[in-house]
């Protein structure tokens, strides 16, 4: 068995900044209301004509990650692409990245675990590298939320939260055996699947039926979230899965140098931080600037923290996520 490590990180967000005040012109909301409930001040949205979509943003983030890993597209053995907002119903974003980056005929796997997508994708990459099957795996989280949100007062509880963007990492065989990804921990609880979901279009509820029923209130092709219910479960599962990862490696909370939680809601991150009594310099949040970018949120935050020098060689880095499904997970890394 080998060990794996992250050898390159990269992120991309669209240039178009959308502030809370701008959203208040589209729906009955205001800056104070949004910041109080989510901590978000602004987010990025794809702008028509800017050339971006989910796969393109993934390529832009991946290009940076490969450069930092001193690798070329031809060196990548596999792509694991996490998203809930693919450009097409099928095929997935992974094969589009493979084609756009001129890679070999390598496998491309799409992961559909929403807010936990990047953690799940990173775990998949880790297993392929550890078993010796592949040497370099490209992991991408990318989301185009703005293309499918309800920007009216009816949808404000969800639409003010989400933003667009992409993040990527290269997971490589750890040649010197020092540090790397120590362990990953994944869970799900499907009985709560309807508390955070998008019901259609789907093969169970396809376009003709949606048009025929012409719903006016509970529109199934916009996301639904039971915010209070999700919040209560998130703070419990975040804490559990972080403790699980630490225990598996005989580590304690005091050993954490940097916690990077999925950027779902600043209040969730602050609750977890307070529970573990972590100082501000050991928790990284950037939801204030980018909103919740779902599968992209952890790699964007990880990249930004690394770029700011907040993650150094030898640091213990903990990633944790919770989201639709419900699914959740953690990754323990010795950088």
Kindly give the residue spans of alpha helices, DSSP state H, lying in the chain: 20-23, 31-38, 54-68, 93-100, 117-130, 156-159, 207-213, 227-248, 266-276, 287-290, 297-307
**How high is the pLDDT of residue 176?**
82
Measured distance CA(259)–CA(242) in Å, rounded: 9
Domains defined along the chain, listed by start: 4-178 (3.40.47.10), 181-334 (3.40.47.10)
**How high is the pLDDT of residue 217?**
62
Which tokens belong to 97?
A: 């990245």
**CB-side neighbour CA atoms (13 Å) of 29:** 27
Measured distance CA(330)–CA(195) in Å, rounded: 22
DSSP run (H or E) holding 333: strand 327-334
Collapsing DSSP to helix, strand or coil, 4 comes out as strand
Which tokens belong to 162?
A: 């989400």
Burial label for 232, CB within 10 Å (0-12, 13-18, 19+), is: exposed
Residue 187 a catalytic site member: no
Residue 53 a catalytic site member: no
Q: Which of 52, 115, 136, 233 is catalytic?
A: 115
Q: Which of 45, 145, 233, 262 is catalytic?
A: 262
**How high is the pLDDT of residue 216?**
61
Measured distance CA(72)–CA(286) in Å, rounded: 29
Residue 292 a catalytic site member: yes
Measured distance CA(295)–CA(277) in Å, rounded: 27
Q: pLDDT averaged over consecutive 10-residue blocks of the chain (335 residues)?
A: 95 98 95 95 96 98 98 98 95 96 98 96 98 98 94 91 98 89 97 86 77 68 86 93 97 98 95 96 97 98 98 97 95 97
The pTM assigned to this predicted structure is 0.95
Q: Residue 330 — φ and ψ, nearest 5°? A: -145, 155
């Amino acid at each position: 068995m080998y060990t794996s490590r992250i050898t390159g990180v990269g992120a991309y967000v669209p240039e178009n900044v959308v502030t809370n005040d701008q959203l208040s012109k589209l729906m009955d909301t205001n800056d104070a209301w949004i910041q109080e409930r989510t901590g978000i001040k602004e987010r990025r949205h794809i702008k028509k004509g800017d050339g971006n979509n989910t796969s393109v943003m993934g390529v832009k983030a991946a290009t940076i990650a490969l450069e930092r890993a001193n690798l070329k597209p031809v060196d990548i053995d596999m792509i694991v692409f996490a998203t809930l907002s693919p450009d097409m119903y099928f095929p997935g974003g992974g094969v589009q990245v493979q084609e756009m980056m001129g890679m070999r005929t390598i496998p491309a796997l799409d992961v559909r675990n929403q807010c936990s997508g990047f953690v799940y994708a990173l775990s998949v990459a880790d297993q392929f590298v550890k078993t010796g099957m592949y040497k370099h795996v490209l992991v991408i989280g990318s989301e185009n939320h703005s293309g499918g949100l309800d920007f009216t007062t009816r949808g404000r509880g969800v639409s003010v939260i989400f933003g667009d963007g992409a993040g990527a990492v290269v997971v490589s065989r750890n040649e010197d055996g020092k540090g790397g990804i120590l362990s990953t921990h994944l869970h799900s609880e499907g009985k709560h699947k309807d508390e955070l979901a998008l019901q259609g279009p789907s093969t169970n509820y396809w376009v003709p039926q949606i048009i025929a029923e012409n719903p006016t209130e509970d529109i199934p092709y916009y996301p639904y979230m039971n915010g209070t219910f999700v919040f209560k479960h998130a703070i419990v599962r975040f804490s559990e899965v972080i403790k699980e990862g630490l225990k598996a490696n005989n580590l304690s909370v005091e050993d954490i140098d940097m916690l990077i939680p999925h950027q779902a809601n600043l209040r969730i991150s602050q609750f977890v931080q307070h529970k573990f009594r972590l100082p501000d310099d050991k928790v990284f949040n950037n939801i204030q600037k980018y909103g919740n970018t779902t599968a992209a949120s952890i790699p964007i935050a990880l990249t930004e923290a690394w770029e700011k020098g907040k993650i150094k060689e030898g640091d213990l880095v903990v990633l944790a996520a919770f989201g639709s499904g419900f699914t959740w997970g953690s990754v323990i890394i010795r950088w």
